[in-house]
Structure formats: structure tokens, C-alpha cells
């Protein structure tokens, strides 16, 4: 099976020893994305709605680089630091999908990189 590294300047550069995504065959594994603006390099964490939109935009840009979109996503994992933010995050997340939603879990964690409130990873298949 062929493995291809996917990186785009339209999403934040990795902050550690990993890639934005790896495509193995027809399956794309996207690393967890946070609300880092790839153009300014600044976090967009004014509120959890703005933050979630930035995360989803970063994910969309990685999907696009791989020739995919949200309709190809089969699995998402959402990590949040406060389950009280779940409904707002869920509302924003849902706006990026039409038709069928992927399988998903949402997990509350003690902390996330750079002190963000939400991180989302995805698996997509074309």
C-alpha cells in the first residue's frame, strides 16, 4: 500500500514530529487540528464558536489538499477541555456536513496543546 504525506500551507504547520495528514491507499488520516490561523500564526480562541470554525476550516483545507471534502469523512474525534462547550462545538461542527454525518466521539480532556479548548482529528475515505 502506498503512503503519501499530505501537507498544505493553508493549515497550520505541525508543531511536533508528525504530518498534517497521511494518505494510505484511499484512506486519509488527519492529525488533530487546533485553532491556529495558518496565515497569521495566531490562535483564534476568542470564544469556542470562533475556535471551532477555525479548526474546521483547517480540516477542510487539509481535506482539499488531498482531493477530498467533508463528504468523504467517515470518522471524527473531538477533544474538548470543557463538556459545557459541547453544544456550541457540536452546532458549528454540524454546519460543515451535509447529508450523512461521520461516526464520532467527543472526549473531555484535562488540557490540549497551546491551551486551546478544542482539537479535532478525522479519517476520510475516497
Domain count, the chain: 1
CATH number, domain with residue 7: 3.30.1330.40
Per-residue pLDDT tens for 78-111? 999 999 999 999 999 999 999 889 999 999 999 9
Q: Where in the sequence is the domain holding 35, given as residue range(s)? A: 3-125
The C-alpha cell at 61 is 483545507
Per-residue pLDDT tens for 22-77? 999 999 999 999 999 999 999 999 999 999 999 999 999 999 999 999 999 999 99
Residue 77: half-sphere exposure toward Cβ, Cα within 13 Å: 11
Whether the model clears a pTM of 0.95, i.e. scores above it, the answer is: yes
What DSSP letter does each residue of 35-92 carry, written as one string?
A: SB-TTT--B--SSHHHHHHHHHHHHHHHHHHTT--GGGEEEEEEEES-GGGHHHHHHH
Contact 51, 118 (CB under 8 A): yes
Per-residue pLDDT tens for 8-32? 999 999 989 999 999 999 999 999 9
**Residue for cell digits 466521539?**
105
Of the candidates 1, 66, 67, which has an alpha carbon nearest to the alpha carbon of residue 31? 66
Q: Burial code of 39-66, b = ≥16 C-beta within 10 A, e = fewer?
A: eeeebbbeebeebbbbbbbbbbbbbebb
Amino acid at each position: 500500500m502506498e503512503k503519501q504525506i499530505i501537507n498544505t500551507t493553508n493549515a497550520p504547520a505541525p508543531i511536533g514530529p508528525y504530518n498534517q495528514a497521511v494518505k494510505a491507499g484511499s484512506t486519509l488520516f488527519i492529525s488533530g487540528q487546533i485553532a491556529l490561523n495558518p496565515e497569521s500564526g495566531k490562535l483564534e480562541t476568542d470564544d469556542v464558536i470562533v475556535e471551532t470554525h477555525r479548526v474546521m476550516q483547517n480540516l477542510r483545507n487539509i481535506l482539499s489538499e488531498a482531493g477530498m471534502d467533508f463528504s468523504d469523512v467517515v470518522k471524527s474525534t473531538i477533544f474538548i477541555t470543557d463538556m459545557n462547550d459541547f453544544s456550541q462545538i457540536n452546532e458549528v461542527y454540524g454546519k460543515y456536513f451535509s447529508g450523512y454525518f461521520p461516526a464520532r466521539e467527543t472526549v473531555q480532556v484535562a488540557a490540549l496543546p497551546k491551551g486551546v479548548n478544542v482539537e479535532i482529528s478525522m479519517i476520510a475515505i475516497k
